[in-house]
Amino acid sequence: MRMGPAELVQAAAMARRFYLEGKSKIQIAEEFGVSRFKVARVLETALERDLVRIEIRVPAELDAERSDALRARYGLRHAVVVESPSSTDDVDESPDPENLGEVAAGLLGELVAEGDVLGLAWGRSTINMAAALEALPPCTVVQLTGVYDAGTAERGSVEAVRRAAQVSGGDAHPIYAPMLLPDAATATALRHQTGIARAFEYFDKVTVAAVSIGSWEPGISTVHDMLTDEERAHYASLGVAAEMSAHLFDAEGRRVGRDLGERCITVEADRLRRIPEVVAIAGGQRKAAAIDAVLRSGLVTSLVTDTAAADHLLEAGPAPRPALDRADPDGV
């Protein structure tokens, strides 16, 4: 039925009280001398007749609908999806969009509390995130992996750890060592060096971690690029679909090529699984399948990605086991 002018004026006044002034329906009913059920009907009608419009707005670069759908599909604690670069070429060929780091920095600002231990793994996205940090509560920052190239440590993981510690005002525990060593004996010896051993002692205390994800391709996986052609072919034959912090996963999220870990300076998978909040930062169409594999592993609780990867993830096969179950990737 069409509302008359008095009804329209009353509906507008009630809507103002309810939506703008925060008054309850009982308070509004008392003011206008009607029942709270009448108030409820008037407010409902105001919405139906477009007298009141409710808009939910987030910053333009965030996609709230995809974020919520992705969180629900994978059973994540948090999923934040940002707009991909407008150029198709950029979406297809580039590493993680740089704005992922900025958004991840904001997410860490929400997740990290005073007294926490923040762990940072090597990766372009985590380095970009650390550079974008503007504020963190006082916390200890520890490096979770060695570096891609010890000669670039100052511009990579070590600098990211120092930057995060500087922003938070907490202690920094970097690791001055390559991520991948020639053999297990060399890796074992390095793990016992004083500085590295001290960082490893903090791994069980980490409460929030930030990690990157790589697909098994040149330029998209740190580990892939560090191996010989023969080694790459060997791990590819095992069905590697993704890597994270020098751990390799097949398409179902199961760990493969575990012998590689013996040669690496990195947080162990079981320790990573016990960290309460593990935020993965990765995007782009080329990484979508790898992101899916890592989300199925049970090692990640939250994700920052882009629309290009999100669209692939939302169209993938049967829904996986909820990430918050923290399944053991070595258990199957």
Pairing between strand 117-120 and 140-143?
Answer: parallel
Is residue 223 within 8 Å of residue 180, measured between CB atoms? yes
The number of angstroms, rounded, from the C-alpha of 273 to the middle of its chain's C-alpha atoms is: 15
* Domain edges within the chain: 5-49, 62-325
Grade residue 122 by pLDDT with cuts at 50, 70 and 90: confident
Whether domain 62-325 has CATH 3.30.2130.10: the reply is no
Cα(323)–Cα(332) distance, rounded to whole angstroms?
A: 15
Provide mean pLDDT across the span 153-167.
Answer: 81
pLDDT of 62 reads 84
What pTM value is reported for the model? 0.80
Q: Has residue 58 got a pLDDT over 50?
A: yes
Rounded to an integer, the average pLDDT of 276-293 is 94
The whole-number average pLDDT for the span 282-289 is 92
Band of pLDDT at residue 143, cut at 50, 70 and 90: very high
So what's the pLDDT on residue 219? 75
Average pLDDT, the chain: 87
Buried b (16+ CB within 10 A) or exposed e, 78-116: bbbbbbbbeeeeebeebbbbebbbbbbbbbbeebbeeeb
pLDDT one-digit tens code per residue, 242-271: 999 999 999 999 999 988 989 999 999 999
Angle formed at CA 41 by CA 38 and CA 47, multiple of 5 degrees: 145
- Give me 144's structure tokens: 């979770």
Confidence check: pLDDT of 280 > 60: yes
Distances from the Cα of 129 to the Cαs of 27, 32, 109, 114, 203, in angstroms? Answer: 47, 53, 11, 19, 20
Share of the chain above pLDDT 70, in %: 92
* CATH dotted code for 5-49: 1.10.10
Which residues lie across from 280 on neighbouring strands? 211, 303
| pLDDT-derived band at 137, boundaries 50, 70, 90 | very high
Categorize the per-residue pLDDT at 192 as very low, low, confident or very high, splitting at 50, 70 and 90. Answer: very high
At 178 the three-state DSSP class reads strand
- Confirm if 329 and 254 have CB atoms less than 8 A apart: yes
pLDDT of the residue at 57: 61
Residue of higher predicted confidence among 223 and 283 = 283
